[in-house]
């Protein structure tokens, strides 16, 4: 009887939302305050709004957070850096090469690099999860990085989260630079699930140098027209790896005035895949960065509201259920 109950626990579709919470640490090598500052600053308003709309629709999400955001002061930050730092060939992508010079003294004076207030706000919603996006927004495929540097980076991320009474068990790889060599390190440190990439060639993990214009163009097209498939995943696949891979299904692209006329296609692309997952007891994983909602907030939240309203319809009709990454991975582990 117990085995029968266990086998039936997950007989439903699963809806996962993960958010890459990174502020300036995630874009500092590509953008600056002048070009992208409004998006970053607005995250401090976007997060409370996300928490409220998630609660409205009974959504359990994973906020994958860069470890550097936890600190309240620059002095505290500098006192807790990893003992081994990444030595990328491209020194521009490392925050340890001069970027700390422009970081403010504390979170009250620098909302671009600190967010302990945001983390405390998320903790007020116990149904939500705080996972890790590594300590320094670590790039796992860039030349010069090493397994030991990654391990020290992850140890620092887990340590600072622990000081805030947060146990880290899920990981989102920055820039989706997934690296098989690091999975053993994750397990050693207690991280037993991660967000992998879609299984289409369009989303195969590459470093910045090897990424191509054409792949990016096809991914943009794929957001509106079904090129890569529904990208939904069976329980059988999810339980086939350890740590548990909960791959991405779709990046929720932000509102674009230039592409506004295509928004109905963008919405249908997401809703049709969610419906497919719900009907076939599969997992659908939607993700984005809070800073993607930093501008055009009204339009972005209106679009998200339509997505989440569709979730509620599927929940009522097919028992489509919302999980955090760790919730889902834990259920799968328990079944095993």
Fold (CATH) for 2-335: TIM Barrel (3.20.20)
Q: What average pLDDT does the segment 113-117 reach? A: 97
Segment 238-277, tens digit of pLDDT: 999 899 999 999 999 999 999 999 999 999 999 999 999 9
Segment 279-332, tens digit of pLDDT: 999 999 999 999 999 999 999 999 999 999 999 999 999 999 999 999 999 999
Whether the per-residue pLDDT at 51 is higher than 90: the answer is yes
Partners of 129 in beta bridges = 62
Whether the per-residue pLDDT at 7 is higher than 70: the answer is no
Quick one: pLDDT band at residue 1, thresholds 50, 70, 90? very low
Segment 186-220, tens digit of pLDDT: 999 999 999 999 887 777 755 555 556 777 788 88
Quick one: pLDDT band at residue 98, thresholds 50, 70, 90? confident
Positive or negative torsion for Cα 242, 144, 85, 120: negative
**Lookup result for tokens 């700390």:** 100
Specify the pLDDT at position 277. 98
C-beta separation of 49 from 297 below 8 A: yes
Specify the pLDDT at position 4. 45
**Angle at CA 299, nearest 5°, toward 296 and 301?**
105
Segment 128-186, tens digit of pLDDT: 999 999 999 999 999 999 999 999 999 999 999 999 999 999 999 999 888 888 999 99
Supply the DSSP string of 45-73, one letter for each residue.
Answer: HHHHHHHHHHHHTT--EEEEE-GGGG-SB
Q: Where are the domains of the chain?
A: 2-335
Specify the pLDDT at position 212. 64
CB-facing half-sphere around the CA of 35: CA atoms within 13 A: 7
C-beta separation of 224 from 187 below 8 A: no
Quick one: pLDDT band at residue 8, thresholds 50, 70, 90? very low
Q: Is pLDDT larger for residue 7 or for residue 41?
A: 41
Whether the per-residue pLDDT at 6 is higher than 70: the answer is no
Q: What are phi and psi of 309, to 5 degrees?
A: -65, -40
What are the C-alpha distances in Å from 169 to residues 10, 178, 195, 243? Answer: 20, 17, 12, 10
Which helix (H) or strand (E) segment holds residue 134: the answer is none
Segment 299-312, tens digit of pLDDT: 999 999 999 999 99
Q: What average pLDDT does the segment 106-116 reach? A: 96
């Amino acid at each position: 009887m117990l085995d029968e109950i266990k086998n039936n626990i997950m007989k439903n579709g699963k809806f996962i939302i993960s958010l890459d919470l990174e502020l300036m640490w995630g874009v500092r090598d590509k953008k600056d305050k002048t070009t992208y500052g409004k998006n970053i600053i607005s995250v401090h308003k976007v997060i409370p709004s996300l928490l409220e709309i998630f609660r409205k629709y009974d959504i359990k999400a994973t906020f994958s957070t860069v470890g550097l955001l936890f600190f309240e002061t620059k002095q505290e930050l500098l006192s807790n850096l990893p003992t081994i730092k990444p030595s990328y060939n491209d020194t521009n992508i490392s925050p340890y090469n001069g970027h700390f010079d422009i970081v403010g003294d504390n979170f009250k004076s620098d909302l671009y690099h600190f967010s302990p207030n945001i983390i405390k706000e998320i903790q007020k919603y116990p149904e939500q999860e705080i996972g890790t996006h590594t300590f320094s927004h670590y790039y796992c495929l860039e030349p010069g990085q090493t397994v030991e540097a990654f391990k020290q980076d992850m140890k620092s991320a887990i340590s600072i989260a622990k000081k805030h009474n947060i146990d880290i068990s899920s990981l989102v790889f920055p820039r989706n630079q997934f690296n098989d060599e690091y999975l053993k390190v994750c397990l050693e440190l207690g991280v037993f699930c991660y967000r992998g990439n879609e299984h289409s060639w369009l989303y195969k993990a590459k470093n910045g140098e090897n990424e191509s214009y054409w792949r990016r163009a096809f991914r943009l097209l794929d957001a509106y027209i079904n090129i890569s498939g529904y990208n939904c995943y069976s329980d059988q696949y999810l339980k086939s790896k350890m740590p548990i891979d909960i791959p991405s299904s779709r990046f929720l692209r932000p509102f674009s005035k230039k592409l506004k006329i295509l928004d109905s296609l963008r919405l249908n692309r997401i809703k049709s895949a969610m419906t497919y997952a719900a009907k076939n007891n599969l997992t659908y994983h939607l993700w984005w960065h809070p800073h993607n909602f930093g501008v055009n907030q009204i339009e972005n939240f209106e679009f998200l509201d339509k997505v989440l309203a569709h979730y509620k319809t599927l929940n009522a009709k097919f028992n489509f259920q919302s999980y955090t990454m760790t919730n889902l991975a834990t259920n799968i582990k328990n079944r095993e």
